[in-house]
Structure 1
Amino acid sequence: MTIRFIAASRLPTPWATFTMHGFEDEATGKDHIALTLGDVSGGEPVLGRVHSECLTGDALFSMRCDCGYQLQEALKRIAEEGRGVLFYLRQEGRGIGLLNKIRAYNLQDQGADTVEANEQLGFGADMRRYDLCVPMLNHLGITALKLMTNNPRKVDALTRDGVNVVERLPITTGLNPHNEHYLSTKAGKLGHMMALDDFTQASDVDIERKG
């Protein structure tokens, strides 16, 4: 695996002006980015999130998942902290790609849950990789993360790949009638550490997309 740094630029957002670092995976041709705020190098743990691409949630405002809500909440928290990193990995649909994700949604419309839909299409429940982050972390000089995630498997995978995750911080936002079953499935079948009672309702979240 060869992850190559390409370029960096400013990225103004509603929360803060981040620095956007672009990387290329030479093995797959996929592009990945990291957004940083403040000086993230050195030994002090950095507030961070590893976010896999979700075109439907992040850009098309889908309420079928919590991805878009989590993305915005993570950027907001990093801005409040004044220092942090968000990795945006091109792993649409938990690694199955956009068109297969649409096929999986079709199966969910017919009654399958998110895990069953992937399996009916011949895929694993979660096919994402997190070793992609290691060369990006090294490039940025980050040695330890306080990771915003509900997914202990993500923490375990990053740890196996040599990433020092010193703390897991829950990120529970965006519950709505369209994603309640999806979130329950993530907790029940994918081991996500969360309870629906802990979630902020989507209607109560100040989502920039609505403004």
Structure 2
Amino acid sequence: HRHLGGLGATARAATIRAAVDGSARAEDFVSPGHVFPLRARPGGVLVRSGQTEGSVDLARLAGRDPSGVICEVMGADGTMMRLPKLLEFGERFDIPVATVADLIRYRLHHERLVTCCSEARLPTEFGEFTIRCYQDSVNGQVHVALVYGDPTASSPALVRVHRADTVADVFGLDFLPSRSRLAWSLQHMAKEGAGVLVYLRPDGDDDPLDDRLQVYGALARGERPPGGSGMGFHDFGIGAQILRDLGLSEIRVITSSPRAFKGISGYGITIVDWVPLGDAPPAAEPAKP
């Protein structure tokens, strides 16, 4: 029996039930039809923040078969409802509403996504740090934490979360103070006697080098760069899990953009204070741990 995925609700429901059956095969269905098959990416919403991944993650978290059905909800004017209207719709008909962002936060809070895979002493121009590597179970990427002294003994600990930009961090760019800010942060931690720098490496598919080169070119010409690859939910969650693994819960964050960290408390980390980020290392000599 081949499913046509027809116009009527009954035919579509039959097609959907057949599609989620574990024994279903492609030849069981006529294509194209009015039910469109989609495939969620492994890793779910932590890899791609889409409705497809959200529906499968929601079913899996509920202990059900990892499959789902998604559809758009249309307004009276024939246009697709956006979130504010969907929230009103849910309240009116007593239907719970969850967003993809909610699922991301939930998974980051309840699932352990990083594992410390190696550790070593790291003598630097600012003093001796301990370097710890953490592997991300979602995309296999390895992130780094540089630890100076004993941050747990100086709560709230001094922390800098830095998203890696290989070219700017290694070679230095006149129009992008990434490297000097790294140096400032490390020396400031050494000056205080304790601190943690979390160095997050973006997934290659998320931040390809050729895209970064376009950004550099625009900045060099004094233009607004195309797009941007700032920190997202995944970055915050991974950074927070690394900090928690180091025994930290209350932190002071070195940053030039406090607003960028809005909502991080949902990951089990409390920001007690902000430390304004400088673009040049402080003059004081670093303390010895």
What TM-score do the two structures reach when normalised by structure 1?
0.71
**Aligned equivalent of 2:255:** 149
Query: Are 2:169 and 1:63 aligned?
Result: no
**Aligned equivalent of 2:155:** 44
Unaligned runs of 5+ in 1: 119-123, 175-199, 207-211
Equivalent in 263, 267, 270 of residue 161 of structure 1: 267
**Aligned equivalent of 2:118:** 7
**Aligned equivalent of 1:54:** 165
Query: Are 2:124 and 1:18 aligned?
Result: no
Retained in 2: the 8 A contact 1:96–1:127?
no
C-alpha separation between the residues in 1 aligned to 2:154 and 2:181?
A: 26
Query: Are 2:77 and 1:77 aligned?
Result: no
Retained in 2: the 8 A contact 1:49–1:86?
yes
C-alpha separation between the residues in 2 aligned to 1:48 and 1:30?
A: 21
**Aligned equivalent of 2:201:** 90
C-alpha separation between the residues in 1 aligned to 2:175 and 2:215?
A: 12
Task: Supply the RMSD in Å over aligned alpha carbons.
Answer: 2.7
C-alpha separation between the residues in 1 aligned to 2:220 and 2:162?
A: 25
Displacement of 1:103 in angstroms is 2.1
Query: Are 2:237 and 1:126 aligned?
Result: no
Displacement of 1:137 in angstroms is 1.3
Retained in 2: the 8 A contact 1:41–1:143?
no
Query: Are 2:242 and 1:136 aligned?
Result: yes
**Aligned equivalent of 2:278:** 172
What TM-score do the two structures reach when normalised by structure 2?
0.53
**Rg comparison, structure with higher value:** 2
Residue deviations 1:115-150 (CA, integer Å, cap 9, x gap):
xx11xxxxx563542111122112110111111001
C-alpha separation between the residues in 1 aligned to 2:253 and 2:138?
A: 27
C-alpha separation between the residues in 2 aligned to 1:35 and 1:127?
A: 19
Q: Residue 52 and residue 125 in structure 1: after superposition, are their counterparts in 2 closer, same or farther (change >3 A)? A: closer
Retained in 2: the 8 A contact 1:53–1:90?
yes
Retained in 1: the 8 A contact 2:175–2:219?
no
C-alpha separation between the residues in 2 aligned to 1:52 and 1:76?
A: 18
Retained in 2: the 8 A contact 1:42–1:141?
no
C-alpha separation between the residues in 2 aligned to 1:110 and 1:75?
A: 30
C-alpha separation between the residues in 2 aligned to 1:130 and 1:61?
A: 25
Displacement of 1:155 in angstroms is 2.5
Unaligned runs of 5+ in 2: 1-107, 285-289
Displacement of 1:40 in angstroms is 2.0
Which residue identity does 2:124 align to in structure 1? T
Displacement of 1:24 in angstroms is 0.5
Displacement of 1:108 in angstroms is 4.2
- Total equivalences in the alignment: 170
C-alpha separation between the residues in 1 aligned to 2:230 and 2:121?
A: 32
